[in-house]
Amino acid sequence: MSRAIHDHSQWGMGDQLGAGNYLTPEKRLEALALVRQGQLFDLSHIIEYGAPRYEPVQTPYLLLGAPNWQGALRRRRQAGATNDAGSNLERIEMTTHVGTHIDALGHFTVGSEMYGGNDASEVSTDFGLLKLGIEHAPSIVSRGLLVDVSRLDGGEFLEAGRSVGPEDIERCLANNKATIRRGDILLINTGWGRFYMNDNVRYLAGEPGINLAAAKWLTKQGVTAIGTDTMAVEVLPGEEAPAVQMPVHQHCLVEAGVYLIENLMLTPLVDAGIAECCFILLPVKFKGATGSPARPIAMV
């Protein structure tokens, strides 16, 4: 689509990697060089029944603990086994946007237009995406930059509907004497994550987040992904809602080919006062899926 091509003409029509193209061996070495103590921070939430979701499009996460060890013992004894090997299994039913997860570029459209000049009426099928599915997302090993905007308004977190603009981000970066480089993963802590599984009604009723201007400024800097401690990265309700809905998703995923990481748990980094880290997120390659639950980590 024109807009997407305009933004990233260097990658051309049909590209499925987007800003993942910035993740070069050099970029990985730059990120790994940040690890000096071997300290590891888990930036993900546990995924369980009742995980926050947008009704009704995001269907409930469910896990059933069967078949289990007892049936296995019975079956294996009947098959002549004497060592009583019991195996526990489960059945999970879920969307890929549950818990801490990353969005595939194919998660959003502008009308029928998708990233890379693709047409949703061709790409989006009953059995998943024929292109731009999460299996095309890169293994992310890159430099992570933490931007803690949680205290900008004096409290411990920003309120729902509070827009985070380019100036807010620049100010925080300046405080950290940090500058964005191509391929960086921008991690924005709003403090809103404290409500995850503690008060899901509030967590979902709205959220602080970046506005379109911030999104465009960040994609212009060449970030590969933007992650937050919220459901949607972008401010909700949006600045021009209801007329304009989810513009940050449209710009980042469809126009800029930049990935979004949601429901991150960033407090470990904030508490440790870490502004720069080696960030790793490895999306599971569910064919044609629009995202993947994940367990991102940060190392220093």
Q: Is 27 in the site for its own copies (CB under 8 A)?
A: yes
Q: Is 296 in the site for its own copies (CB under 8 A)?
A: yes
Determine if residue 206 is left, alpha or beta; phi over 0 gives left, psi from -120 to 50 gives alpha, anything else beta.
Answer: left
Contacts for 49-52 with beta carbons within 8 Å, 24 or more apart?
50/197, 50/200, 51/98, 51/99, 51/197, 52/196, 52/197, 52/200, 52/203, 52/204, 52/231, 52/263
H or E element: which one contains 103?
A: strand 101-103
**Which parts of 261-280 interact with its own copies (CB under 8 A)?**
280
Q: Which of residues 86 and 155 has its CB atom nearest to its own copies in the complex? A: 86
Q: Which stretch binds its own copies (CB under 8 A): 3-11, 26-34, 163-171, 202-210?
A: 26-34
Whose tokens are 């921008």? That residue is 186
Q: Is 117 in the site for its own copies (CB under 8 A)?
A: no
Q: Which stretch binds its own copies (CB under 8 A): 11-19, 74-82, 181-189, 198-206?
A: 74-82
| Nearest distance in Å: CB 52, its own copies | 14
Distance CA 264, CA 102 (A): 10
Binder among 109, 189, 211, 230 for its own copies (CB under 8 A): 109
How many Cβ atoms sit within 10 Å of the Cβ of residue 220? 12
Binder among 14, 127, 271, 273 for its own copies (CB under 8 A): 127
CA–chain centroid gap for 111, Å, is 23
Distance CA 48, CA 34 (A): 33
Q: Which of residues 95 and 211 has its CB atom nearest to its own copies in the complex? A: 95
Q: Is 205 in the site for its own copies (CB under 8 A)?
A: no
How far apart, in Å, do the first and last CA atoms of the chain sit? 39
Local structure of 251: helix, strand or coil: helix
Q: Is 39 in the site for its own copies (CB under 8 A)?
A: yes
Q: Which of residues 135 and 170 has its CB atom nearest to its own copies in the complex? A: 135
Q: Is 67 in the site for its own copies (CB under 8 A)?
A: yes
Give the contacts of 101 (CB within 8 A, at least 6 positions apart). Answer: 261, 262, 263, 291, 292, 293, 294
**Which parts of 242-261 interact with its own copies (CB under 8 A)?**
242-247, 249-250
Q: Which of residues 95 and 190 has its CB atom nearest to its own copies in the complex? A: 95
Q: Is 44 in the site for its own copies (CB under 8 A)?
A: yes
Q: Is 189 in the site for its own copies (CB under 8 A)?
A: no
Binder among 12, 13, 46, 167 for its own copies (CB under 8 A): 46
Q: Which stretch binds its own copies (CB under 8 A): 7-15, 76-84, 221-229, 268-276?
A: 76-84
Q: Which of residues 132 and 180 has its CB atom nearest to its own copies in the complex? A: 132
